[in-house]
Structure formats: C-alpha cells, structure tokens
Amino acid sequence: MPNHIHILWCKQPDWLNKNVQQHFSKFTAQNLKWSLQNNSEDLGNYKSTQNDREYQFWERRPHKAFIYNRAVLEEKLDYIHNNPVKAELCDLPEDYTYSSAAYYILNTENTLITHYMEHM
C-alpha cells in the first residue's frame, strides 16, 4: 500500500526475548532516513512534531493483532492480499508488486517469505 504496510511475522525461537517490532521499526526507520538524506524534500515529509526525535517514519502505536490459530492467520492474510484490490491499485491480489499474494497464489520465488504452514 502506498501509505502503510502489513506484516505477518513469527518470532523465531533463537531470537532474544526483546520487542521485535521495536527493533524492526528502529532498523527500517534508520535505513529510510539514510536513503532519503540526499533528497531533503522527501526527508522533510517525515519531519516530526515531537520533541524527542527529528523524524517520524512509523506510527507510535501501530495496530497489532496476535494470530492464535490457522483460521485467524488465513483471515488476516486474505485481508492483506485483497487490500490493494479494494484500494483499486490492481485487479488481482497477485498483481500487486509488494504483496506476498504471488508467492502463495502463483508459487513465485521469494527469499523473504516462508510459507505460514511451516509455522503452524
């Protein structure tokens, strides 16, 4: 989606018991800032109104949903895949460039994704 992302992740057993979302947000925000530093106009779009930071890339309290079973996971995955279609960004879920739908529907290769059934 042009103004937000949806991510389903599974905390791996060997990860430290830390806030994974906080680490993800910090890492990606730093990388976004570094990539935009040469384009002050784009970077200026993320100027923060808060006193504790110069830029704000992510919402302070993003929505979290815990996946308790396969039915809930598949419901969330269907929502994520159909979101770009509903927003009229594409005709079919698998046509949206930044979606995992092609991985699931067309069996396309994707090194960032593992099938959710591997974690159930």
pLDDT one-digit tens code per residue, 59-78: 888 888 888 899 999 999 99
Where are the chain's structural domains?
A: 18-62, 70-119
Q: How far is residue 48's CA from residue 45's CA, in Å, rounded to a whole number?
A: 9
Return all residues near 84 (Cβ < 8 A) that are at least 6 apart.
Answer: 1, 90, 93, 96, 99
Could you tell me which residue, 101 or 1, shows the higher pLDDT? 101
Instruction: State the average pLDDT for the chain.
Output: 88
Global confidence as pTM: 0.78
- Residue 22: pLDDT band with limits 50, 70, 90: confident
Percent of the chain clearing pLDDT 70 (strictly above) = 97
